[in-house]
Amino acid sequence: MTSKTDFRNQRRGMFYWQDKKPYVSVTNVLKVIDKPALRYWFGKQVYLAMTVDPTMNEKEALAAPYKKSKKAMNRGTTVHSIVEAYKKTGAVIDSVPEDYQGYAKAFYKWIDDNKIEVVENEKTVVSESMGYAGTLDMMVKKNGTETWIIDVKTGKDIYAEAHIQLSAYKHALKEDFGQKIDRMGVLLLKENGNYKFEEADDNIDVFLACQQIWYFLNKEDCDKVGYVKRGGDVNGQR
């Protein structure tokens, strides 16, 4: 089965939908992984909000992390727009909002340092055999030879989940489009204009284990939407 049309807008809830069939999103599967750093961040934002304004009530204090999270989402959306514009035109955007100029500078620096050609961005892929789908950030040619898939981050650091996420995309790309990927990497863009780049290992077995846990925790919802548990044998896909 191939998914040659873009169906990013067919994502509803935990699933992408294609031909009336649900495929769990890669990012939803990875929510089963405990994130202690996120809990610490959440508590810190509540504490800081109450330090700034001791008169706020409990509801207002608990809303503070979500306001920060929305700002981070807007930052991510802006950065992905920069990537998309570069892919389409090859042009460096000068009119980036001031808050995001450092991230843009970091992206263009990474492009120049590694002789990057962006082949595709925001590409949605499906694994029919394993029952998941997702949208990868970039497929690139690095130094004119190797084909990489890249996950772009704008947070504090690179976390292990990004490696697992890329592994899922890599195997779906091969199944869905017959696309061979040489290597995978996570690109962390920093506010100060620098970047961190980390090569990712293939951790598809870890992703499939997460998918099994996700299914166990969400079986009732899966039954309601007609999501069928898949086998997950990847021996022939490495």
Q: What pLDDT digit, counting tens, does each position of 161-178 carry?
A: 999 999 999 999 999 999
Calculate the dihedral angle through the C-alpha atoms of 207, 208, 209, 214, rounding to the nearest 10 degrees.
90
Please give the angle made by the CA atoms of 73, 213 and 210, to the nearest 5 degrees.
Answer: 55
Kindly report the pTM of this predicted structure. 0.78
pLDDT in tens, 43-60: 666 656 677 777 877 776
The predicted pLDDT at position 2 comes to 40
- Domains along the chain with CATH numbers: 22-229 (3.90.320)
Instruction: Compute the distance between CA of residue 182 and CA of residue 8 in angstroms, rounded to an integer.
Output: 25
Say yes or no to pLDDT of 229 above 50.
Answer: yes
Question: For the chain, how many residues are written?
Answer: 238
